[in-house]
């Protein structure tokens, strides 16, 4: 989930929080299925993930969340010494290889992908680009933080920053999320340590569409490496623009007679993305979906 279950229940209510958790479990099923069906080589590993408390209040929530979700068949264990919970069914993958694998599968199924083709405007049934116009019975906008450039949108752009080191000896067994998800790290299949977050230390600055890393945030990431005795050189630093919604849930559904939207993942695109894509496809086909109300753009 995007946050621990107790926090989600406080925000949305128990029933809705459970529906959200189950939808993220559907993402697991879809990733497994798509990787197997299309032979996608994306370094997929199911090593679990850790939620680590930033303070005593969060630790109480993490422990209680584990207790509640265990009653719904979650494979979870807690460690009071490290004030953490390990969710055994979680995993990680190489996001670029994942996207390329999906693109290849889509193209093999007949989809036509036009890269480096900026959409300049969208009207009902037509997308205009510098290279010409595309007409369609329905248009699905998956432009996340940039959706507001094309249609009215409540998604707001928020910057996230990361770094990656050269390959080094094993340090972390699985991905981890700490301090209410504001800090996160993992070690890749080839041994690189990837660290990101600390946006909460500069909330007012980490907004907008600038994809330039800042010394302020990068210094926190460097400090994390030092605190964990990681001396491998940093090989990459980057920033990216995330689309945030008003309530931390994505917007998926119809916004105009012939326009649908799928975005606003609020920093949790891997948790929500595949299941929300399935929801969007279902709605595009004119079918109902039991979770459509959770993500209705008009909510």
Domain ranges of the chain: 19-113, 114-155+247-295
Reported CATH class of domain 114-155+247-295: alpha beta
The beta-carbon contacts of 6-12 under 8 Å, at least 24 apart in sequence, are 6/61, 6/62, 6/64, 6/65, 6/68, 7/61, 7/65, 7/180, 9/68, 11/247, 11/248, 12/249
The beta-carbon contacts of 35-39 under 8 Å, at least 24 apart in sequence, are 35/101, 37/105, 38/101, 38/102, 38/104, 38/105, 38/108
Q: Are 265 and 242 in contact (CB under 8 A)?
A: yes
Q: What is the mean pLDDT of residues 184-197?
A: 98
CA 187, 190, 194 angle in degrees (round to 5)?
30
Q: What is the mean pLDDT of residues 226-250?
A: 98
Which pLDDT score is estimated for 124? 86
Dihedral angle sign, alpha carbons of residues 157, 218, 189, 87: negative
Q: What are phi and psi of 234, to 5 degrees?
A: -75, 125
pLDDT reading at 244 higher than 70? yes
**Rg of the Cα trace of the chain?**
20
Which pLDDT score is estimated for 1? 62
Contact residues for 299 (Cβ-Cβ < 8 A; gap 6+): 247, 293
Write down the pTM of the prediction. 0.93
Q: How far apart are CA 195 and CA 83, in angstroms?
A: 20
Dihedral angle sign, alpha carbons of residues 238, 189, 102, 155: negative
Which tens digits make up the pLDDT trace of 140-183? 999 999 999 999 999 999 999 999 999 999 999 999 999 999 99
């Amino acid at each position: 989930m995007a946050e621990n279950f107790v926090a989600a229940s406080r925000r949305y209510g128990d029933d809705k929080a459970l529906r959200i958790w189950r939808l993220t479990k559907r993402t697991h099923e879809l990733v497994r299925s798509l990787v197997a069906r299309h032979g996608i080589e994306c370094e997929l590993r199911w090593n679990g993930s850790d939620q680590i408390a930033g303070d005593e209040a969060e630790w109480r929530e993490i422990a209680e969340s584990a207790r509640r979700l265990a009653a719904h068949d979650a494979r979870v264990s807690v460690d009071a010494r490290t004030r953490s919970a390990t969710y055994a069914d979680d995993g990680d993958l190489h996001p670029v290889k994942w996207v390329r694998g999906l693109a290849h599968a889509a193209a093999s199924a007949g989809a036509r992908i036009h890269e480096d083709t900026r959409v300049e405007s969208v009207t009902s049934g037509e997308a205009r680009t510098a290279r010409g116009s595309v007409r369609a019975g329905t248009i699905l906008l998956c432009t996340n933080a940039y959706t507001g450039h094309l249609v009215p949108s409540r998604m707001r752009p928020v910057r996230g920053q990361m770094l990656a080191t050269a390959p080094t000896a094993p340090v972390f067994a699985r991905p981890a999320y700490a301090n209410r998800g504001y800090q996160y790290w993992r070690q890749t299949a080839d041994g690189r340590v990837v660290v990101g977050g600390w946006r909460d230390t500069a909330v007012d600055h980490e907004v907008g569409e600038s994809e330039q890393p800042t010394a302020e945030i990068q210094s926190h990431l460097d400090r994390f490496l030092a605190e964990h005795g990681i001396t491998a050189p940093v090989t990459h630093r980057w920033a990216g623009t995330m689309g945030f919604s008003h309530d931390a849930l994505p917007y998926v559904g119809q916004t105009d007679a012939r326009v649908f939207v799928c975005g606003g993942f609020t920093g949790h695109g891997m948790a929500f993305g595949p299941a929300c894509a399935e929801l969007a496809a279902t709605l595009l086909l004119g079918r109902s979906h039991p979770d459509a109300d959770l993500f209705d753009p008009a909510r």
